[in-house]
Chain A
């Protein structure tokens, strides 16, 4: 049994239609496991309305804490902290938990042992089933960090479930941007589908994303969503992609039905079963799947 093929949907810029495209693929794809890697704002479950059968907590922040009854106010911790996370307030040393990276240097250096490192356990991972298959998603605790590690954990679970179910594909709805959550989503995946829009910002952000992805061994496809909002820029993007030798997977029109589908808790492909978008998305899915010839283990070499 070959490993399941992991496909991640990204965009660089937010709001270009990652979740809409993921949901559209989900209704067409068959034997698939879904994972929402946009842990800041996981929205896929709003369309897939899954039933949760299990959830677990996951370690979030690791922060320093100063025991004030032991602190002698020497200031060594403040002096050593490179994140400016320790400031005396009216002579009392406290840790700014939003600036603290949890490195533990202050704990090591404190001459009176007044500093400890506290683990928070507030992130959650949900295991659920929706009408198209299993869905794993996360919820980041409020104002927490470590979304990269949470994403890696969600992906591990998705892979285990995919192997158990003999699923051929894992479909990941990715986060916006190009920082650590995106790196955690791309590392080790087989295929990246980048969804862009015909705006200068959309292209600028896609270019940065493509540069970031170029360091990974992964196949890249691009979708131009809402292409008819500015056909000139859509055309420029197409030309630029051609110049770079990047595969244009297809173009999707702007369609208010996307929002109406969402209001009905449906994917656009369910809401308009004879619509143009369903037709296009089906073609895209076929392109992606028909280009996977060999099992993953061979392709990697």
Chain B
């Protein structure tokens, strides 16, 4: 079963929940569990899962190079490029690919009648394997700083996931393409939220997104304690399963700040996380 841990708003507790679930399921349930950090822009799971990488694979993009000697400046590559990544000045016989805008689709190479375009690999990110609690228990996707094709890195990361057992995807925040790239490859989406107006507003956007993708889903309220009725009213009105709540305590915030996995440090939370998992499989 593939479970994506998501949230419209950032900082609600995706990583707290994913690392916590990962810990209790391997440690107490002895399940074969794998955790994938799909928040490739800002991957933070490794701060909690403290183990060095055992293996790594580059994520690459095939970037075209146009040979100005062979180019006849017919303009076919420039006109097919949907990403405006080709600059051409026929008067000065100048043609170049803006690599930051190129998505490596290969359309220019395909249409070039002079075979003036060759391609070379450029690294845009990395997938690393880590042994933690079990062999290859944790896989991290990490986009190179300055690159912009996060969805590509996410898709490549997910390709490395084990095909059996339980896989947890720590999703990026938000509701757009990187989240869709993560959730569309999962069987169940957990939406983490917090009892504040921001938390609720972003949860509504998230619910729309997940429903649009047709995925089973449920909600975990983190930092619970603030009696913010509209959130609970929304959850019951929309009949979305409330999978569980993690209370707000300053000591939990402190433990998080140091990079501790919550149920590892607080025995009392072990059952909370196990119950959330039971709710997921029964939802």
A residues adjacent to B (C-beta < 8 A): 11-16, 19, 39-41, 43, 46, 62, 80, 82-83, 98-99, 101-105, 108-109, 140, 142-145, 147-148, 175-183, 197-202, 204-205, 208, 211-212, 215, 229-230, 233, 259, 262-263
Q: Is the CB of A200 within 8 A of B103?
A: no
Determine the residue in chain B with the shortest Cβ distance to A147.
B176
Tell me which residues across on chain A come within 8 A of B15, comparing CB atoms. Answer: 201
Q: Is the CB of B8 within 8 A of A40?
A: yes
Tell me which residues across on chain A come within 8 A of B91, comparing CB atoms. Answer: none
Q: Is the CB of A15 within 8 A of B196?
A: no
Tell me which of B47, B103, B172 contacts A177 (CB under 8 A).
Answer: B172
B253 within 8 A of A: yes
Q: Is the CB of B178 within 8 A of A179?
A: yes
State A214–B119 Cα separation when bound (angstroms).
Answer: 29
- Which chain B residues numbered 242 to 265 have a C-beta less than 8 Å away from chain A? 250, 253-254, 256-259
Q: Is the CB of B201 within 8 A of A101?
A: no
B68 within 8 A of A: no
Given A105-B105, A140-B175, A147-B176: A62 in contact with B82 (beta carbons within 8 A): yes
Q: Is the CB of B174 within 8 A of A199?
A: no
Q: Is the CB of B106 within 8 A of A105?
A: yes
Tell me which of B8, B107, B150 contacts A108 (CB under 8 A).
Answer: B107
State A178–B197 Cα separation when bound (angstroms).
Answer: 25
The minimal Cβ–Cβ distance linking A237 to chain B, given in whole angstroms, is 11
Tell me which of B8, B106, B213, B253 contacts A143 (CB under 8 A).
Answer: B213
Tell me which of B10, B205, B213 contacts A176 (CB under 8 A).
Answer: B10
Tell me which residues across on chain A come within 8 A of B258, comparing CB atoms. Answer: 199-200, 230, 233
Q: Is the CB of B44 within 8 A of A143?
A: no
Q: Is the CB of B177 within 8 A of A145?
A: yes
Q: Mark B79-108, 1 if CB is under 8 A from A, else 0.
A: 010110000000000000000000111110
Given A98-B181, A199-B257: A263 in contact with B9 (beta carbons within 8 A): no
Q: Is the CB of B82 within 8 A of A212?
A: no
Tell me which of A80, A148, A183 contacts B110 (CB under 8 A).
Answer: A80
The minimal Cβ–Cβ distance linking B243 to chain A, given in whole angstroms, is 20
Tell me which of B10, B143, B155, B178 contacts A15 (CB under 8 A).
Answer: B10
B209 within 8 A of A: yes
- Which chain B residues numbered 1 to 47 have a C-beta less than 8 Å away from chain A? 8-12, 15, 41-42, 44, 47
Given A177-B172, A179-B150: A80 in contact with B106 (beta carbons within 8 A): yes
The minimal Cβ–Cβ distance linking B280 to chain A, given in whole angstroms, is 22
Given A105-B110, A205-B42: A177 in contact with B173 (beta carbons within 8 A): yes
State A82–B105 Cα separation when bound (angstroms).
Answer: 6
Tell me which residues across on chain B come within 8 A of A198, comparing CB atoms. Answer: 257
Given A147-B176, A176-B42, A179-B178: A15 in contact with B257 (beta carbons within 8 A): no
Tell me which of A41, A108, A180 contacts B9 (CB under 8 A).
Answer: A41
Q: Mark B187-226, 1 if CB is under 8 A from A, else 0.
A: 0000000001110011001001100110000000000001
The minimal Cβ–Cβ distance linking B85 to chain A, given in whole angstroms, is 10
Q: Is the CB of A200 within 8 A of B47?
A: yes
- Which chain B residues numbered 35 to 84 have a C-beta less than 8 Å away from chain A? 41-42, 44, 47, 62, 80, 82-83
B116 within 8 A of A: no
